[in-house]
C-alpha cells in the first residue's frame, strides 16, 4: 500500500481518464497539458501534466488537512479556474460498496454547480498556497553560493541530456557544462526570475536553465541553510510537471511545447 498514490488510497476513481478529459476540454481554462514522457503511451501523454497535477494536488491538500468533510461528502479545491474565473472542485461521496475505499470520486465541478451539496457551499476550501508563511521561497536568492558537481550529475542522469550533448566525449561534455553553468550563474545574478520554483519531494525547490546552443537543460536546485546545490538534471517534461504543481510557469525558457 505504501506505493499506492494517496488519491487512490482515499477513493475509488471510476472512469478517471474520462473525468480528466472533461476537466481539460470543457471545464478548466484552456491549457496545454501534454507530458513529453517516452515511458507513457500517446493517449496518456495528452493529459499527462494534468494527471500529475491532480494526483499531487490531492496529496498536498490531504497533508495540510485542507479537505472539507460534510456528512457523506468530501470536497477539495483543485486550484484550477474555469474560463469565467470560477474555482473548480473535486467532489467525493461515501462509497456504498464494501471492501473498497471509503470514498468515491464523483467528478469535477465549478463552484456554482448545484451538484455540490448546499451545506458545503458556504465553507468551500481555499486553494493551496505553496508559499503561505514562507513568501521568500518564491524567489531564488542569487547572493547565496550555488554548489554543484557536474561530473556526478552527468553520470547519474546521462540519458536526460539532449542528443546534441550526448554526442560529445565525456571529458569535453563535463568541461562544456561546467563553463555553461558558470555563465548561467552570471545571468541569474542579473535576473533571478530566470529561476523557476518547483515542488518535489514535498519541498520547494528550483529550476534553472543551462543552455547549450538551442537546447536547454533544466537543472534541479535545492536550498540548504546558506547555499544552494544543483542536485540533478531533469527533462523538460519533468521540469514543467514539477513547476506546474505550484503555478503555470510564465518563464520564457520553461514552456510546455
Q: What is the pLDDT of residues 62-89, one digit of tens each?
A: 999 999 999 899 999 999 999 999 999 9
Round the average pLDDT of the chain to a whole number and report it.
93
Task: Provide DSSP, 166-234.
Answer: HTS-HHHHHHHHHHHHHHHHHHHHH-GGGSEEEEETTEEEEEEEEEETTEEEEEEEEE-SSEEEEEEE-
Q: Residue 24 half-sphere exposure, CB side, CA atoms within 13 Å?
A: 18
- Structure confidence by residue, pLDDT tens digits, 131-155: 998 899 999 999 999 999 988 898 8
Please state at what angle helix 236-244 crosses helix 48-63, rounded to 10 degrees.
40
For the chain, what's the residue count? 257
Cell of 38: 517516452
For residue 228, give the nearest of 180, 255, 190, 188 by alpha carbon: 188
Q: Is the dihedral of CA 159, 164, 169, 170 positive or negative?
A: negative
Q: Which three cell numbers stand for residue 104?
A: 468515491
Residue 91 to residue 125: CA distance in whole angstroms: 12
CB 82 within 8 A of CB 29: yes
Q: How large is the average pLDDT for residues 110-116?
A: 96
DSSP class of 82: B
Tens digits of residue pLDDT in 117-129: 999 999 999 999 9
Question: What's the pLDDT band for 38 if we cut at 50, 70, 90?
Answer: confident
Provide the residue ranges of all domains of the chain, joining segments of one domain with +.
6-123, 135-244
Check if the beta carbon of residue 12 is closer than 8 Å to that of residue 104.
Answer: yes
41-70 pLDDT per residue, tens: 787 889 999 999 999 999 999 999 999 999
Report d(CA 103, CA 8) in Å as an integer: 10
Residues 239 and 198: beta-carbon distance below 8 Å: yes
Cell of 126: 481555499
Give the CATH class of 135-244.
alpha beta
Beta bridge partners of 108: 90
- In the 8-state DSSP scheme, what is residue 250? -
pLDDT at 41: 79
What pLDDT is stored for residue 188 in this prediction? 93
Q: If DSSP codes are grouped into helix, strand and coil, which group holds residue 70? A: strand
Q: Please answer whether residues 48 and 187 qualify as being in contact, where contact means their C-beta atoms are separated by less than 8 angstroms.
A: no
Q: Once rounded to an integer, what is the mean pLDDT over residues 27-42?
A: 87
Q: What was the pLDDT predicted at 1?
A: 46
Q: Residue 158 and residue 156: Cα distance in Å, rounded?
A: 6
Amino acid at each position: 500500500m505504501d506505493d499506492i498514490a494517496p488519491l487512490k488510497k482515499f477513493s475509488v476513481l471510476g472512469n478517471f481518464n474520462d473525468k480528466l478529459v472533461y476537466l481539460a476540454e470543457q471545464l478548466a481554462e484552456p491549457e496545454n497539458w501534454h507530458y513529453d514522457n517516452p515511458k507513457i503511451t500517446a493517449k496518456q501523454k495528452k493529459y499527462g501534466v494534468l494527471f500529475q497535477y491532480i494526483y499531487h494536488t490531492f496529496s498536498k491538500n490531504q497533508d495540510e488537512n485542507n479537505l472539507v468533510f460534510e456528512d457523506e461528502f468530501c470536497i477539495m479545491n483543485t486550484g484550477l479556474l474555469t474560463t469565467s474565473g470560477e474555482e473548480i472542485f473535486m467532489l467525493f461521496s461515501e462509497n456504498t460498496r464494501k471492501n473498497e475505499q471509503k470514498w468515491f470520486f464523483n467528478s469535477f465541478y465549478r463552484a456554482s454547480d448545484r451538484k455540490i451539496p448546499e451545506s458545503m457551499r458556504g465553507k468551500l476550501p481555499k486553494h493551496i498556497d505553496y508559499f503561505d508563511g514562507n513568501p521568500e521561497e518564491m524567489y531564488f536568492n542569487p547572493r547565496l553560493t550555488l554548489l554543484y558537481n557536474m561530473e556526478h550529475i552527468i553520470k547519474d542522469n546521462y540519458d536526460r541530456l539532449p542528443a546534441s550533448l550526448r554526442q560529445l566525449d565525456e571529458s569535453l561534455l563535463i568541461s562544456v557544462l561546467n563553463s555553461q553553468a558558470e555563465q548561467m550563474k552570471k545571468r541569474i545574478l542579473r535576473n533571478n526570475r530566470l529561476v523557476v520554483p518547483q515542488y518535489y519531494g514535498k519541498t520547494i525547490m528550483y529550476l534553472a536553465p543551462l543552455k547549450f546552443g538551442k537546447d536547454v537543460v533544466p537543472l534541479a536546485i535545492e536550498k540548504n541553510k546558506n547555499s544552494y546545490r544543483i542536485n540533478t538534471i531533469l527533462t523538460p517534461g519533468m521540469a514543467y510537471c514539477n513547476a506546474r504543481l505550484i503555478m503555470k510557469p510564465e518563464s520564457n525558457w520553461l514552456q510546455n511545447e
